[in-house]
Amino acid sequence: MWPKMSSSACQLSEHIHFPTQDYNKAVDVYLLADGDVHMFPTACLKQDLKLVFHPFWESLPLVNIFLSITPNVLHQLLQGVMKHLIYWITSSSVFGPVAIDARCRMIPPNHHIMLFSKGISTLSRVTGKEHKSICQILLGLIIDLPLLHGCLPTCLLRAVCALLDFLYLA
């Protein structure tokens, strides 16, 4: 269940209008927090609400929290696009993780860029700052690397440039 509407993650690719969360039902469920200890978690689970005792917005009568939540598009773009771009270029069918990580280790120390001494293919839980730092060095990592099957990487370089330009413009 998403905070703003009643849909599951697998339904988001469908082009359907989903109803928004019912504010009154949520308030009724959260009012059960002071009541029966076993009934409150069950009611939250049934309504697909987070198990929060007295949310900060319960004392704000004119605030519909479900209409106030907006997605952070820039964060989602940076995290999502960069995650897939890194996965793509480090896949065994493109450059491979060994070549990309070796290039990361060869970058000389510099005051203006973050160094990834262990490479970028094994990173997990990458922050936005780290993704921005990877954006700074990514094109330099792949600019003259040959593809694993011997083809010229011209189209791949254009695609990476286009994605990086898109991220910078967004």
- Mean pLDDT over 65-88 rounds to 82
3-state class of 38 per DSSP?
coil
- Separation CA 78–CA 167 (nearest Å): 7
Buried b (16+ CB within 10 A) or exposed e, 81-112: bbeebbeebbeeebbbbebbbebbeeeeeeee
**Structure confidence at residue 27 (pLDDT):** 84
Answer yes or no: are the C-beta atoms of 170 and 163 closer than 8 Å: no
Answer yes or no: are the C-beta atoms of 134 and 100 closer than 8 Å: no
**Structure confidence at residue 2 (pLDDT):** 46
3-state class of 127 per DSSP?
coil
The percentage of residues in the chain with a pLDDT greater than 90, rounded to a whole number, is 21
Answer yes or no: are the C-beta atoms of 127 and 79 closer than 8 Å: no
pLDDT digits (tens, 9 = 90+) for 108-147: 988 888 999 899 998 888 888 888 899 999 999 999 888 8
Q: What is the dihedral of CA 23, 25, 31, 36, to 10 degrees?
A: -150
Confidence (pTM): 0.60
> Residue 1 — pLDDT band, cuts 50, 70, 90?
very low
Q: Which of 87, 94, 92 has its CA nearest to residue 147?
A: 94
